[in-house]
Amino acid sequence: MRGNPVVNRRVVHKWRQVGIPTAGSVKIKILLCCCIALTLVVLAGLASSFMGWTGHPDSSYRLSSPRGRYAIVMNTWKRYDLLKQSIAHYVSCPRLESIHIVWSEPEPPSESLKRYLNRVAQSNSGDGHSVELKFDINTEDSLNNRFKEIKDLNTDAVFSIDDDVIFPCSSVELAFSVWQSAPETMVGFVPRVHWVDESKGKDHYIYGGWWSVWWTGTYSMVLSKAAFFHKKYFSLYTNEMPASIREYVAKNRNCEDIAMSFLVANATGGPPIWVKGKIFEIGSTGISSLGGHSERRTECVNRFVTVFGGMPLVSTSVKAIDSRSVWFW
């Protein structure tokens, strides 16, 4: 029997009456849950800003540990306006301990320049901490000077930087935090890559610039124009690395950054770490804009491979990003 059609219609009508408010209730509950979750996220962000939390280690650790702060080693050459601008910016970074200016000019820095920079360092230092400012004077002009051992460094971490590039303190602090998790390697903002030149055999390599990194999604170096590394590599570069490499760098005025990448990779057996960060070029174009730059860098790579007895660079596709700055990751 198919049953009483009147009874069936009544049953269906009854379930419709029950089902409609039930479905509506579920939707309302889901919407309320989403609103509550969003409210909690917003309140958490506000609470952290009100309490002054920045995601850095507590102040006692920052002051007591050599890994709690970092030093900037800044390479400069007769660009005093850029030097002033860079110093004025970086002294405000929260965990900066000191700035060492690598000075390789024939004449020592003028007293007026030193007074100005010291005054800026005192007035712009953030968090009530005074940043120490020092000139490391060199008697000869050589790109190797930027990696000379500094005896009075009080921090393990060194942020090597050129005077014509500026990164926001938030980006520098992120890179420093990444370095703290991997203090043996190089952590930087400017990646480069190498690959085998198959037309010349498996032992011959090509140097690739930024567009090669962008196209392949891989890199094997981070340039020392903006990179963190351990201070011990200063000593290794000056005292342990083959002298022929330092002589080549001094003679050709190029490739000291590639030499440092080789040195660190050879010591660690691993790749560097590329950190995503905004970069502001405040100077004019450098040697990288000259004709034949890539060819000269390729020559450096192959010469260094010969001296090291093999290719120490390791390629990777890992990139560190601050997840707080993106919605989905």
Catalytic (active-site) positions: 257
What count of residues does the chain have?
329
Q: Which helix (H) or strand (E) holds 17?
A: helix 5-50
| 3-state class (DSSP) for residue 87 | helix
How far apart are alpha carbons 169 and 79 in whole angstroms? 22
Cα dihedral 227/229/232/234 (nearest 10): -10
Of 309, 220, 216, 294, nearest to 255 by C-alpha is 294
Residues ≥6 apart with Cβ < 8 Å to 15: none
Beta strands 205-208 and 191-196: pairing type? antiparallel
Pick left, alpha or beta for residue 325 (phi over 0 → left; psi -120 to 50 → alpha; otherwise beta): alpha
Of 191, 188, 171, nearest to 233 by C-alpha is 188
Residues ≥6 apart with Cβ < 8 Å to 279: 165, 166, 167, 189, 190, 226
Pick left, alpha or beta for residue 2 (phi over 0 → left; psi -120 to 50 → alpha; otherwise beta): alpha
Angle among Cα 299, 148, 66 to the nearest 5 degrees reads 120
How far apart are alpha carbons 316 and 271 in whole angstroms? 6
Q: Give the CA distances from residue 120 to residues 80, 109, 290, in Å, rounded to whole numbers and listed in that order.
A: 14, 16, 34
- Which residue spans within 40-92 are E strands per DSSP? 70-75
| Count of other CB atoms within 10 angstroms of residue 63 | 11
